[in-house]
Amino acid sequence: MSDPRKAAGEQPIEKPRSPASEAWSMFRRNHAAVAGLIVLSVIFAIAIFGPFYYKEDPFMMVWTPFSPPGEQGYLFGTDYLGRDIMALMIHGARVSITVGLAAAFVTVTIGITVGALAGFFRGIVEEALMRLTEFFQVLPTLLFSMVIVALFGASLPMITLAIGLVSWPAVARVTRSEFLRIRELEYVTAARSGGVRNARLIFSVILPNAAPPIIVQAALMVGSAILFEAGLSFLGLTDPNVASWGQIIGSNRPYILDAGYTVTVPGLAIFITVLAISLVGDGLNDALNPKLRAR
């Protein structure tokens, strides 16, 4: 049976798409972001499943030190102790990504808490929290994290916490600006007039609508945390009993001129991962921005 609208020459009415569907459609149009997502998926797959297929112990001395890539079947060669760099890279991927995700979680948690309270309550609460944010923002982040790690130990949890503690001001400022904008909108005023409590207004009404820029910021924070961990490791502030890309660079840095590949391989892995995260972050920014979706 034919559609009467078609018979009359009218265009069929399209069903409205959900915001998630529109965002995904916009994201797919960004080829660089899609490429970054594919690269990230491969890296995550290596981090999760790699140790099950490549079972070489990353801390076992398997051959003579500084064997060049390809010698005796070791794709990336061996480091200064004769350990398989390929095994170190595979196991290090899991640690580096875990540090990045955990540090980003700490950063976003602190940033959202401070920014939401400052943007919602205003007044003396906003003044105090913004002065605290400015204090942390002007601190030299690398130096501050070095002090934390030096005082409390170079364990992986402490490194993660140190990165989170010095990185949250940017998230707090983004969250505050979104809360200042959204708290004055009509549906928030209506909810407040209906007797909705402040906690529910913050977490159930305003925060979900403020989420898009926070999600983009959180994605970029993962890459920043991986770089931060690599920087601390390069300076020797890392756990020598844990394999991470930063730890591989840090432990082999005295031999960078004699066996540059021991630093180049993990450095390239960090570069590619952070670049992929940045491309995905840009794609998310385009996809979650309603003004860009409307074009």
The C-alpha atoms of residue 76 and residue 87 are separated, in whole angstroms, by 9
Radius of gyration of the chain (CA): 24
25 assigned to some structural domain: no
* Tens of pLDDT, residue by residue, the chain (295 residues): 455 555 555 555 555 666 677 777 888 888 899 999 999 999 999 999 998 988 888 889 888 889 888 888 888 989 988 999 999 999 999 988 999 899 999 999 999 999 999 998 888 988 999 999 999 888 888 888 888 888 888 888 899 999 999 999 999 999 999 998 888 888 888 888 888 888 888 888 888 888 888 888 888 889 889 888 888 888 888 888 888 898 899 888 888 888 889 999 999 999 999 999 999 988 888 887 655 554 4
Q: What's the pLDDT at 16?
A: 61
Q: What is the pLDDT of residues 75-89, one digit of tens each?
A: 898 998 899 999 999
- Would residue 199 count as lying in a domain? yes
Pull the structure tokens for residue 92: 């290090």
* Residue 19 confidence (pLDDT): 66
- pLDDT (0 to 100) of residue 171: 92
Range(s) of the domain holding residue 281: 31-293
Give a yes or no: residue 58 inside a domain.
yes
Q: What is the pLDDT of residue 11?
A: 55
Q: What is the DSSP letter of 65?
A: T
Residue 274 lies in a domain: yes
Contact 236, 85 (CB under 8 A): no
Token representation of residue 274: 């952070």
Per-residue confidence (pLDDT) for residue 14, from 0 to 100: 52
Please check whether residue 206 lies inside any domain of the structure: yes
| Domain assignment present for 234 | yes
Burial of 206 (0-12, 13-18, 19+ CB in 10 A): buried
Q: What is the pLDDT of residue 3?
A: 53
At 190 the pLDDT is 86
What pLDDT is attached to residue 102? Answer: 93
Q: What is the CATH number of the domain that holds 143?
A: 1.10.3720.10
Residue at 5 is within a domain: no
Residue 61 forms beta bridges with which residues?
A: 83
Tally of domains in the chain:
1
What tokens appear for 177 in the block?
A: 């600006």
Question: Within 13 Å, how many C-alpha atoms sit on residue 172's CB side?
Answer: 25
Instruction: Indicate whether 91 belongs to any domain.
Output: yes
List, for residues 66-125, the tens digit of each pLDDT value. 988 888 888 898 998 899 999 999 999 998 899 989 999 999 999 999 999 999 888 898
84: helix, strand or coil:
strand
